[in-house]
């Protein structure tokens, strides 16, 4: 047991204790209420991959698998997870319930619902009573991407390589915009372009 723990620590921090070596064990847990949320939540996963933040992903439903949710939220910290991203739609209690059982930062992504376009998800996640915070992002894809970026910013305080990767992500985003100043060059394909 002792050996396993120190091996895990080495894998996470590298020999120099957090600076130069890549972080390999999952630091972010991405959970979602249903596999139907993956279409949205995969944007969080892809963004973490782009920045090089190790993560795990799984379906954990607050109302369909409440015991699993309790187990996941209670054990995440012990397993080395440092930030949880929770996406859910409709009466979206997953992020709030997770935050109630874990002291880790929980970032909530409101998944767009069919009935109310995600406004129900947004309010369910954002309107937590004082005492148990959930950092709530925008509805849908933008929220999933930003949850990953915010997770990286939180982790960047402890892992310099993640802070640097986030800095690079931001500069290449800026460079992409500056390299494409003409909006008509990228938004209209020949088929959709109106005749002059
Ligand atoms: C929530 O209900 C999930 O987060 C999902 O957004 C929504 C619908 O789930 P499915 O009926 O598609 O499984 O629990």
Determine the residue of 37, 111, 118 to mutate for testing ligand 1's pocket, defined as the one with the most ligand atoms within 8 A of the Cβ atom: 37
Q: How far is the CA of 37 from the centre of ligand 1 (A)?
A: 7
Q: What single-letter DSSP state applies at residue 81?
A: -
Summarize the confidence of residues 128-149 as an average pLDDT: 98
Name the residue with the closest Cα to ligand 1, atom 2.
Answer: 89
Name the residue with the closest Cα to ligand 1, atom 6.
Answer: 89
The predicted pLDDT at position 119 comes to 98
Q: What is the pLDDT of residues 76-98, one digit of tens each?
A: 999 999 999 999 999 999 999 99
Q: Is the pLDDT confidence value at 191 over 70?
A: no
As a whole number of angstroms, the distance between CA 20 and CA 160 comes to 8
Q: Is the pLDDT confidence value at 163 over 90?
A: yes
Q: How far is the CA of 168 from the centre of ligand 1 (A)?
A: 35
E-strand ranges in the chain read 28-32, 55-59, 83-89, 106-111, 135-136
Q: What is the pLDDT of residues 114-137, one digit of tens each?
A: 999 999 999 999 999 999 999 999
Q: How far is the CA of 112 from the centre of ligand 1 (A)?
A: 10
Least confident of 110-114, 122-126, 183-187: 183-187
Closest among 22, 79, 15 to 54, alpha carbons compared: 22
- Which atom of ligand 1 lies at the shortest distance from residue 88's CA? 4
Q: How far is the CA of 120 from the centre of ligand 1 (A)?
A: 12
The predicted pLDDT at position 78 comes to 98
Q: How far is the CA of 196 from the centre of ligand 1 (A)?
A: 46
Summarize the confidence of residues 26-51 as an average pLDDT: 98
What mean pLDDT, rounded, does the chain reach? 89
Name the residue with the closest Cα to ligand 1, atom 13.
Answer: 34
- Which atom of ligand 1 lies at the shortest distance from residue 35's CA? 13
The pLDDT-based confidence of 168 (bands split at 50, 70, 90) is very high
Cβ neighbours of residue 106 closer than 8 Å, sequence gap 6 or more: 83, 84, 85, 86, 95, 98, 99, 133, 134, 135
Summarize the confidence of residues 38-50 as an average pLDDT: 98
Q: How far is the CA of 124 from the centre of ligand 1 (A)?
A: 14
């Amino acid at each position: 047991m002792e050996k396993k723990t120190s091996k895990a620590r080495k894998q996470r921090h590298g020999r120099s204790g957090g600076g130069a070596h890549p972080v390999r064990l999952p630091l972010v847990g991405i959970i979602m209420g249903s596999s139907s949320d993956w279409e949205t939540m995969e944007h969080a996963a892809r963004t973490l991959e782009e920045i090089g933040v190790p993560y795990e992903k799984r379906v954990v439903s607050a109302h369909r698998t409440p015991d699993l949710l309790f187990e996941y939220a209670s054990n995440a910290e012990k397993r080395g997870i440092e930030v949880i991203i929770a996406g859910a739609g409709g009466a979206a209690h997953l992020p709030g319930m997770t935050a109630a059982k874990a002291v880790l930062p929980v970032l909530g992504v409101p998944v767009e619902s069919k009935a109310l376009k995600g406004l129900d998800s947004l309010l369910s996640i954002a309107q937590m009573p004082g005492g148990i915070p959930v950092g709530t992002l925008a509805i849908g894809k933008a929220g999933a991407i930003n949850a990953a970026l915010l997770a990286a910013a939180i982790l960047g305080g402890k892992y310099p390589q993640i802070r640097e990767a986030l800095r690079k992500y931001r500069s290449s985003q800026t460079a992409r915009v500056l390299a494409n100043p003409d909006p008509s060059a990228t938004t209209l394909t020949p088929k959709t372009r109106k005749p002059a």
